[in-house]
Structure 1
Amino acid sequence: MTVAPAHCDTLAQAVGRFRTAPGDIASYDTDVVTAARALRVGEEQISHLAEAGLPHAYDARGALRFDYDDLMNVGMFCGTGQTVPELGLRFLMRFAATDRSAWFAPRAWEVGVHPARTAAGATAEDDGPLPHVRVRLPDHLGPGVELLDGAALPEGELADGGYQVAVGLTGADQQVRDPAIREVWDEVVGTLAAREVLYQTVPERLRTDHRRAWELGMADCVVASRLLADRLTARGYRARARRGYLLGLFGSDHAWCEVHEDGAYRSLDPVFAFVSLLGDKARGVAQSPEFAEACFGGRFNRLLPCRTETAAPLVYFADAPAPYWAMAGVGARPRRTS
Structure 2
Amino acid sequence: MTVETAAPDALLGALGRFTAVPRHIGRYDTDVKTAAQALRAHPAQVVGLADEGLPHLVDPERGPLFDYDDLMNVGMFCGTGQTVPELGLRFLMRFAASPRASWYAPREWEIGVHPSRTAGGVPAGALAHLPDVSVRVPDLSAPGVELLSPGSFDDPLRASGYEATIRLTGADQTVRDPRIHAAWNEVVDELASHRVTYQTVPEALRADHHRAWELGIADCVVASRLLADRLRAAGLEATARRGYLLGLFGSDHAWCDVVEDGAHKSLDPVFAFVATVGDERGVARSPEFAAACFGSRFNRLLPCRTDSAQPLVYFDGEPAPYWAMVGVGARPRRDS
Which range, TM-score by smaller chain?
over 0.9
Residue matched to 1:108: 108
- TM-score using structure 1 length: 0.96
Task: Find the aligned partners of 1:93 and 1:230 in 2 and give their Cα distance.
Answer: 26
Once the two structures are TM-superposed, the CA of residue 146 in structure 1 deviates from its matched residue by: 0.4
Once the two structures are TM-superposed, the CA of residue 2 in structure 1 deviates from its matched residue by: 5.0
8 Å Cα contact 2:5/2:41 also seen in 1: no
Residue matched to 2:152: 153
The superposition leaves residues 87-109 of structure 1 with CA deviations (integer Å, 9 ceiling, x where unpaired) of 00000000001100000011011
8 Å Cα contact 1:3/1:41 also seen in 2: no
Residue matched to 1:295: 293
Q: 4+ residue runs of structure 1 moved beyond 3 angstroms?
A: 1-6
Are 1:132 and 2:132 an aligned pair?
A: yes
Task: Find the aligned partners of 2:6 and 2:274 in 1 and give their Cα distance.
Answer: 27
Task: Find the aligned partners of 2:276 and 2:296 in 1 and give their Cα distance.
Answer: 15
Task: Find the aligned partners of 1:128 and 1:71 in 2 and give their Cα distance.
Answer: 25
SS at match of 2:173: coil
Q: Percent identity?
A: 67
Q: 1:2 to 1:54 in 2, by over 3 A?
A: farther
- The partner residue of 2:321 within 294, 304, 323 is 323
Are 1:42 and 2:42 an aligned pair?
A: yes
Residue matched to 2:188: 189
Task: Find the aligned partners of 1:56 and 1:122 in 2 and give their Cα distance.
Answer: 17
Task: Find the aligned partners of 2:15 and 2:34 in 1 and give their Cα distance.
Answer: 18
Residue matched to 1:180: 179
SS at match of 1:285: coil
8 Å Cα contact 1:2/1:42 also seen in 2: no
Residue matched to 1:335: 333
The superposition leaves residues 108-144 of structure 1 with CA deviations (integer Å, 9 ceiling, x where unpaired) of 1111111111115221244332111101000011100
Task: Find the aligned partners of 2:69 and 2:120 in 1 and give their Cα distance.
Answer: 14
SS at match of 2:75: helix
Q: 1:5 to 1:41 in 2, by over 3 A?
A: closer
Once the two structures are TM-superposed, the CA of residue 27 in structure 1 deviates from its matched residue by: 2.0
Q: How does 1:75-86 map to 2 (within 5 A)?
A: 75-86=75-86
Once the two structures are TM-superposed, the CA of residue 273 in structure 1 deviates from its matched residue by: 0.4
Residue matched to 1:9: 9
For structure 1, the 5+ residue unaligned runs are: none
Task: Find the aligned partners of 2:5 and 2:326 in 1 and give their Cα distance.
Answer: 28
Residue matched to 1:200: 199
Residue matched to 2:302: 304
The superposition leaves residues 304-333 of structure 1 with CA deviations (integer Å, 9 ceiling, x where unpaired) of 000012000001111111111111110111
The superposition leaves residues 281-326 of structure 1 with CA deviations (integer Å, 9 ceiling, x where unpaired) of 5x32000011001000000000000001200000111111111111
Task: Find the aligned partners of 2:261 and 2:27 in 1 and give their Cα distance.
Answer: 44
Task: Find the aligned partners of 2:190 and 2:96 in 1 and give their Cα distance.
Answer: 22
Residue matched to 1:88: 88
Task: Find the aligned partners of 2:172 and 2:222 in 1 and give their Cα distance.
Answer: 25
- TM-score using structure 2 length: 0.96
